[in-house]
Amino acid sequence: MNVTTVTRGSDILEQVRAIGPMIDAASPEVDALNNLPEDLFSALIERDLFRLLQPREYGGAELSPLEFVQIMEEVGKHDASTGWCLGQNNICSTVAAYLEPDAVKEIFRTPKDIVAWGPGPGEARAVPGGYRLNGRFSFASGSRNATWLGAHVPVIEPDGTRRTAPDGSAITYTLLFPKSKVQVQDTWQVMGLKGTGSDSYGVADLFVPAEFALARSTAVKPRVAGRLYAFTPSTLYSSSFACLGLGIARATHDAFVRDIKNSIPRGAKKPRGENNVIQAKIGTAEAQLRSSRMYLIGSLEKIWAEVQQTGALTPEQNVNIRLATTWAIQNAREVVASLYVAAGAMAIFQANPFEKRFRDIHSLSQQIQGHAAHFETVGQILLGMEPDRPMFTF
Query: 172-217, pLDDT tens digit by residue?
Result: 999 999 999 998 999 999 999 999 999 999 999 999 999 999 998 8
Which of 88-97, 131-140, 267-276, 318-327 has the lowest average pLDDT?
A: 267-276
CATH number of 115-216: 2.40.110.10
Residue 308 has, within 13 A of its CA and on its CB side, a CA count of: 9
pLDDT of 6 reads 45
Nearest partner of 307 among 392, 227, 394, 224, judged by Cα? 227
Three-state SS at 21: helix
Residues in the chain: 394
The string of pLDDT tens digits covering residues 287-327 is: 999 999 999 999 999 999 999 999 999 999 999 999 999 99
Domain positions in the chain: 3-107, 115-216, 227-382
Does the structure show a pLDDT above 60 at 4?
Answer: no
The whole-number pLDDT of residue 394 equals 63
**Domain 227-382 of CATH type 3.40.50.720:** no
- C-alpha distance from residue 324 to each of 187, 312, 317, 330 (Å): 32, 19, 11, 10
H-state helical runs in the chain? 9-18, 20-33, 38-46, 65-76, 80-92, 101-107, 233-255, 276-310, 315-342, 355-366, 373-382
Which tens digit of pLDDT belongs to each residue from 175-187? 999 999 998 999 9
Instruction: Tell me which residue of 246, 218, 221 sits closest to 232, measured CA to CA.
Output: 218
Identify whether the C-beta of residue 377 lies closer than 8 Å to the C-beta of residue 388. yes
% of the chain surpassing 70 pLDDT = 97
Q: What is the pLDDT of residue 63?
A: 97
Look at residue 366 in the predicted model and tell me its pLDDT.
94
The pLDDT tens digits for 341-378 are 999 988 999 888 899 999 999 999 999 898 889 999 99
Residue 189 CA to residue 316 CA, distance in Å, equals: 38
Whether domain 3-107 has CATH 1.10.540.10: the reply is yes
Mean pLDDT of 371-389: 92
Mean predicted confidence (pLDDT) in 81-102:
97
